[in-house]
Homo-oligomer: A and B are copies of this chain.
């Protein structure tokens, strides 16, 4: 048993997609996997209940707006292997999952590139109402050209322009959520004998936002009345310099990926420094990293499970996903010959994993996408409860992160295993949050208020509490 230095509760986040296969390439073929039922609402209700009862903080549903069609120049491999295709809308699942759960939060990916801020703001307000303050928004800007082509653009907006648009998009949304309806605007006053006309909303407390910007003009007030959190908890996963700056400014939870602890730690430190420069308080951002956990009664059982899972792993699915994310097409390459930089159309920095200048080692595609000892390129912990709890502590300390984004290898089996074997162990170690009803933001940050803190950029659009108090008198 190692000495537990930090007793901060760990953020437990479940990670999936409204598709037959997310990052568990090929595993829909495993006899225990239920993800092939992803179009069936019962499948989702079962999953949400497992996470809610298993004391997860949040279910994170990723999304994309196009098929993965870089690998081999078509969506053929993606369709064949079921890699993130076909794909349903994630936002539309939330109300059903909210009705079936008590505490679980819902972090949903929505791109700023193809939505109108006026309408997306209403969507998140609606969901914050129906979840009673348990909604989070994973802000993305959409990277797929396959999405752009079908959504009215010949090619994607340039990368940095996407973030400029996203910055203004969030500013509009913040104004609508924070600066339009005062806290005491909605009175629901049914009237009385001396004033038979009731008063639902006091119109003097509802303000047009008067936004006239570079990309958006939104003069009017928000359509919806304030919800518990007003602003959904903002998730972000920016990896590029522009993305990191965006995350440092807006994000409350940052999702970092990779199996390299030192790399994650550098990434976290970089974003924390940028956040500090942007005037945000220490601890304003929680960091979670992608993690696979294979567990059971003991280490041996867990290892046997991983060996079994790997029989179903689709190397082609993994490469197809990576290709869509990076724009590098590996379709012409043998899986077992070392890859050279000049074989690809790629930016050199993307290829560090294959052609490591430090070690001089050259990797094959098979070695790169299915390294020994883990589930693909995802950091993987394998073992019984004590080992996982120890390894998890070590991983969080090495990466300087606050929690995990647990991927499923089989679904809901991976989540059920974690809830059954690891959660009681973490509970014994005092590493879990108390279950309590309340807003997701309060839960993640241990605050009483479900609203954004004063150092968040959305805070400056809020009505001052004094003004509201004066208006009340």
Contact = CB atoms under 8 A, between A and B. Distances in A.
Interface in A150-174: 150-152
B225 A80 contact: no
Interface residues of A, number: 80
Given A67-B223, A75-B203, A87 B41 contact: no
Of A123, A152, A199, A201, most B-chain CB atoms within 10 Å: A201
Contacts of A16: none
A198 B29 contact: yes
Interface in A1-53: 18, 20-21, 26, 28-29, 31, 36, 39-41, 44-45
A409 to B, nearest CB: 16
Nearest to A93: B95
Contacts of A223: 65-67, 85-88
Tell me the number of copies of this protein. 2
Contact of A119 (B65, B126, B197): B65
Contacts of A199: 80
A124 to B, nearest CB: 9
Contacts of A127: 92
A241 interface: no
A225 to B, nearest CB: 4
A300 B272 CA distance: 71
B152 A122 contact: no
A186 B21 CA distance: 14
B95 A200 contact: no
A419 interface: no
A219 B95 contact: no
A201 B93 CA distance: 23
A428 interface: no
A99 interface: yes
B129 A76 contact: no
Most buried by B among A39, A87, A216: A39
A203 to B, nearest CB: 4
A89 interface: yes
A165 to B, nearest CB: 13
B88 A122 contact: yes
A240 interface: no
A118 B151 contact: yes
A333 interface: no
B21 A89 contact: no
A116 B114 contact: yes
Contacts of A119: 65, 89, 114, 151
A95 B119 CA distance: 19
A331 interface: no
Nearest to A172: B150
A91 interface: yes
Given A99-B45, A206-B75, A26 B198 contact: yes
B200 A75 contact: no
A93 B191 contact: no
A331 to B, nearest CB: 14
Interface string A199-227: 11111001000000000111111111101
A201 B86 CA distance: 8
Nearest to A216: B152
B89 A126 contact: yes
A100 interface: yes
A137 to B, nearest CB: 13
A152 B76 contact: no
A149 interface: yes
Contact of A40 (B129, B186, B188, B206): B129
27 contacts: A26-B198, A31-B190, A36-B188, A39-B225, A41-B95, A41-B129, A41-B130, A65-B223, A66-B223, A67-B220, A80-B199, A80-B203, A81-B197, A82-B200, A86-B201, A87-B223, A88-B125, A92-B94, A92-B123, A95-B96, A96-B98, A114-B119, A146-B220, A149-B219, A150-B218, A150-B220, A197-B314
For the complex of A and B, the 3 pairs showing the least CB-CB separation, nearest first, are: A82-B200, A95-B96, A39-B129
Given A149-B219, A150-B220, A197-B314, 4 more contacts: A29-B198, A80-B203, A87-B223, A96-B96
